[in-house]
Amino acid sequence: MSEHLCPNEGKPMNRPRPNKSHAGEHTTAGPPGGLATVLRYDLPASVVVFLIAVPLSLGFAAATGAPLMAGLISAVVGGIVAGALGGAPMQVSGPAAGMVVITAGIIAEYGWAATAMITVGAGLVQVAAGLSRVGRAALSLSPAVVHGLLAGIGVTIAVGQSVVLLGGQPGATVFGNLGRLVGPVSPAALLVGGVAVAVLVLWPRVPGSSYLPAPLVAVLVATFAGTGLDVARVDLPAEALSQVVLPQMPSGTFPAIAFAVLTVAVVTAVESLLSAVAVDKLHDGPRADLDRELVAQGVANAVAGSLGGLPVSGGIARGSTNVAAGARTRASTVLHGVWIAVFVLALGSLLELIPLAALAGVLLVVGVRLVSVPRMRTLWRHGEFTAYAVTAAGVVALGLVEGVLLGVAAAALRSLYRLTHSSVRIEEEPDGWRVVIRGSLVFLGVGRLVRDLRTIPLGKRVVLELHIDFLDHGAFEAIDDWRAGYVRLGGHVEVDEVHDTWFSKAARGIPALRKTPLSPLPRWFAPWSHWQRRRAVTLPRPREDADPMIRGMHEFERSAAPLVRPFLAELARRGQRPRQLFITCADSRVVPNLITTSGPGDLFCVRNIGNLVPVDGDDSVGAAVEYAVEVLAVETIAVCGHSDCGAMKALVSGSARPGSQLCSWLRAAESSLIRFHAPGAAELPAVERLAVANVAQQLDNLMTYPSVREAVAAGSLRLVGMYFDISEARVYLVDPDRDGLEPVRT
């Protein structure tokens, strides 16, 4: 199964970067690289995660009242089963941190053996949900919520491990742990934990440190420093297998048992999916397949419950440690489960040498680094910090699921605020007032808009300039009522819709159902007739006001000039450096910058009737060609013909008046007419076929210019034929060998 974000969607992001070995750093989790990758990266990382997972698993089991062995069973199953089958390769699964309180309540009501069976049922529910492809819904979470989740988990980890670092026993809540920080301090534990923190921070500065992950080195050095000191160490059950309790059917009402099963399934699923999305933010490897991950978590829960283990879920603490330790593939996750099984059954005495304070130091740094200050600045600049802060505070104060729900609510409210608050600018003009409204207009934002409109003095000429992409009926009625009242009191109101015609459609009773593409075309390339039909801009000179060109110039200075002024100022400073000479017809419907998506300074243009390049010497065209090639050193000369060309019609019909300037000019196209009668693009109408042949002929004519011929031979210049279909708004390339058309391909 694919490890992409979703099956058959997108590509994995494999951007190799140097491996970072210190905790909490974003690292590369690249594609599998064979045994060498596993040995260099995944094996050491699995040991680090294994060292972290053992005390966490034991602690979760103790906190729920389950046998300690239940936590270790879940760690083994989560590592091997979920790690091998999961869709989030860097995520490490084990006993569910968010289930501690819930599991404790289920054990108190049904007993431990029945709780294990409930876990089996929850796993089957998760498998069904994953196969139904509901896992990807977690992707709709705002990044601010995900990073807030990371920060909240980081604070929770840091505060809890600070208690262990001081020699105490951490409690179940952050606030409880804050109270324990003021208790007695164990100098030995503080020393061991301090050594672990120092090594973790300083190790990356050591040359060649990337070959050994900092967390592993920190644990080893801190363990050595704690030799002979009276500090708490990892404590494993003496007879591990004797504590295994197999599942039994719970006794109770079906609704109550079903509710317990669904609760375990939903909470562990949400915790796993949220963790997978969060861990994805920490590495550059393949993105998580959340549906596959949900199926894997379900299988792991079914297996863990069958063996007498706690509910399983993916964990941010374990996953972030895995990434920070340099893991590259899922082998690290699987191996960590193997190490737990091997060491608990055969080498438990070695684990019991590790001080808990050493592990606490590693987790403390991991937690602190999950609270990213640069991320906070970024979210603040984008206006998303509120959702981040609410999520982090909710996770710290209430729990993972509750914090995420609060964060989602905050993000939704922020989005609703943005959607319902349009931009309104009111400015006085020589002949009245102009109100510029941008955004989406819905009923929730109407109150502020109407208040702003009522500040305009009565009896004036008002232009409502609408740059909106949605207008609901409530907003339309509010604006229309204000307009009618303002007109009734002696004023004059014009509605000037710059983009889509929402207001006029609403006035005709056409309902607005959803946002649509902007139409008519924005003014910077729309014809005057599209936006000057129903408005009149009063300028100081009334006669000039009637000229649409003057209106267009006024509109340019008012709205477009501020946008293009920086580009034009730069072009004025450095001079023109176009790379293309564009020869096209004088037809008013052909706009070179529009059909080439170019701007000022891009095209050196020559326009004439029929886009001709005379071979017998036309001073205007010849001078432009020579200047473009010899002075500007253009790299391309494009000759662009078009459909419905008047010059081509005159050539086909011979309608140019004898003796006229037009008739004299079109003699330069006689070679095109001869070429037209040769076999060519027979599928086109006669006028269009001549237009294509004419383009091909003008390319040949260009080669009669010595400067063009020399530049083409030197490889510094290329000639391109183009054809613009006006009615279809499509551009084609002209193949001069067969006088045919080809689609434009990049």
Q: What is the 3-state secondary structure (H, E, C) of 559-579?
A: HHHHHHHHHHHHHHHHCCCCC
Q: Which residue has the higher pLDDT, 236 or 16?
A: 236
Query: What is d(CA 463, CA 71) in angstroms, rounded to the nearest whole number?
Result: 71
Residue predicted with more confidence, 249 or 27: 249
Structural domain boundaries in the chain: 34-170+187-367, 421-519, 576-743
Q: Is the pLDDT of residue 632 over 90?
A: yes
Mean pLDDT to the nearest integer, 14-22: 36
Q: What Cα–Cα distance (Å) separates residue 163 from each residue in 1, 51, 574, 736?
A: 43, 19, 64, 80
> For position 361, what pLDDT does the model report?
83
Q: What is the pLDDT of residues 420-456, one digit of tens each?
A: 667 888 988 888 999 988 888 877 777 888 888 999 9
How many whole angstroms separate alpha carbon 153 and alpha carbon 395? Answer: 7
Is residue 703's pLDDT more than 50? yes
Say yes or no to pLDDT of 348 above 90: no
Question: Comparing 419 with 268, which gets the higher pLDDT?
Answer: 268
Is the CB of residue 61 less than 8 Å from the CB of residue 369?
A: no
pLDDT at residue 609, as a whole number:
94
Q: How far apart are CA 601 and CA 580, in angstroms?
A: 10
Q: What is the pLDDT of residues 185-194, one digit of tens each?
A: 889 989 988 9
Burial class, 407, CB count within 10 angstroms (exposed 0-12 / middle 13-18 / buried 19+): buried
Asked if 54 contacts 78 with a C-beta cutoff of 8 angstroms, the reply is: no
pLDDT at site 104: 78
Question: What's the mean per-residue pLDDT of the chain?
Answer: 81
pLDDT at residue number 30: 45
Averaged over 194-213, what is the pLDDT? 81
Output 611 or 277, whichever has higher pLDDT. Answer: 611
**Choice among 330, 523, 551, 642 that is catalytic:** 642
Who has greater pLDDT, 351 or 463? 463
Catalytic residue among 289, 587, 602, 739: 587
How confident is the model over 313-326, as a mean pLDDT? 82
Q: Residue 283: pLDDT band by 50, 70, 90 thresholds?
A: confident
pLDDT at 612: 94
Q: Does domain 421-519 have CATH number 3.30.750.24?
A: yes
Q: Is the pTM of this model over 0.85?
A: no
Q: Which of 3.40.1050.10, 3.20.20.100, 3.40.50.10490, 3.80.10.10 would CATH assign to domain 576-743?
A: 3.40.1050.10
User: Which one from 6, 467, 499, 585 is the annotated catalytic residue?
Assistant: 585
> Higher pLDDT residue, 537 or 141?
141
Mean predicted confidence (pLDDT) in 114-126: 93
Annotated catalytic residue 587: yes
pLDDT for res 530: 62
Is 585 part of the annotated catalytic residue set?
yes
Distance CA 541, CA 546 (A): 9
Which pLDDT belongs to residue 618? 77
Position 663 pLDDT exceeds 60: yes
pLDDT tens digits for range 559-604: 677 767 777 888 888 889 999 999 999 999 999 988 998 888 899 9
Asked about 589 being catalytic, the answer comes back as: yes
- pLDDT value, residue 22: 36
Mean pLDDT of 512-537: 58
Residue 536 scores a pLDDT above 70: no
SS3 159: helix
* pLDDT of 484 higher than 60: yes
The answer, yes or no, to whether residue 32 has pLDDT greater than 90, is: no
Per-residue confidence (pLDDT) for residue 679, from 0 to 100: 63
Spot the catalytic one: 499, 645, 689, 739. Answer: 645
pLDDT for res 15: 34
- Tell me: pLDDT of 633 over 90: yes
